[in-house]
Structure 1
Amino acid sequence: MEKGQNMTSEMSNKDAGRECCNQSKIEERLFKLEDIVSFDPSAGKKTIFYETGCMAGAVWCLEPGQKVPNHSHSTSDDIWICVQGTGTFYPGFGEKIEITKGDIIFSEKGQQHGMVNTGDERFIFVGVAGPIPMDYIAHDDL
């Protein structure tokens, strides 16, 4: 994502960029949401907690009114799992779906998707995407 697109992003302290393997220790496979959640008062925040050559996992934290701009990925699928709050998901320009804790959203490669925290409380969702590397194609704003 390019600078100035109303999102901040950081890597967690877990080892990122590992190749796909089946030999991971359990402490490398278990993540605590409370250790990853981080908000930025100026923009929605994405924290990548795991990344391999195959996939990436991230926690997105949005204060009320903050958003993930409408975008797509040409070669990657994206799954978003809402764990706290209420938001509006945009599966394509002009469409919208209200989501809340426990809802799971799937976007195939090429499908537009974006999110806005439309509630009065903090909004948290977990994203899992692959394959990696993953491009970012911006679309008309929400």
Structure 2
Amino acid sequence: MNNRIFTSSDFIVPSNEEPLRSVVTSSDDSTIIMWTVKPGQVIKPHIHPEGQDTWYVLAGSAEYISDDTDKRTSIQKGDFVIAYKGEIHGAVNNGDEPFTFISVVSPSNAGFQLK
């Protein structure tokens, strides 16, 4: 088994309860996560106080929450979205299909705090 090549479809797992976060791999440098967000589900606004979170949208669309005033911007398949150290971010899937994206949090010990 090669621990440097991963198939994204192996990590796409929708959940009826809340958005599902599947860790693809992790090292001290970064953690790679596959997110599956069903229509109507929300990733609550949060920050990583000690690092950056970079998203690449694979499928669907969402409203990206980018500050504490609930400012929203549409994001869709093919978009890169970056939350730099300490920046608020989250998402609402208000579409008709799953919103699927890859998140790279760096470093892995970037922390997590709801806002």
TM-score by length of 1: 0.77
What residue is the counterpart of 1:45 in the other structure?
A: 20
CA shift digits 1:80-119 (9 cap, x unpaired): 1110001010111231110110011011111000011110
Unaligned 5+ runs, structure 1: 1-24
Please provide the CA RMSD for this pair.
1.1
Give yes or no for contact 2:50–2:111 (8 Å, CA) kept in 1: yes
Q: Does 1:103 align with 2:79?
A: yes
State the partner residue of 1:137. Answer: 113
Give the equivalent residue in structure 1 for 2:36. Answer: 61
**Percent of pairs identical after alignment?**
25
Q: Which has the higher contact order (CA 8 A, sep 6+)?
A: 2
Rg comparison, structure with higher value? 1
- Structure 2: how far apart are the matches of 1:33 and 1:72? 25
Instruction: Find out whether 1:36 has 2:11 as its counterpart.
Output: yes
Establish whether residue 81 from structure 1 lines up as the match of residue 59 from structure 2.
no
1:134 Cα deviation after fit: 2.5
Instruction: Pick the structure with more strand per residue.
Output: 2
SS at match of 2:50: coil
Q: Which runs of 4+ in 1 moved over 2 A?
A: none
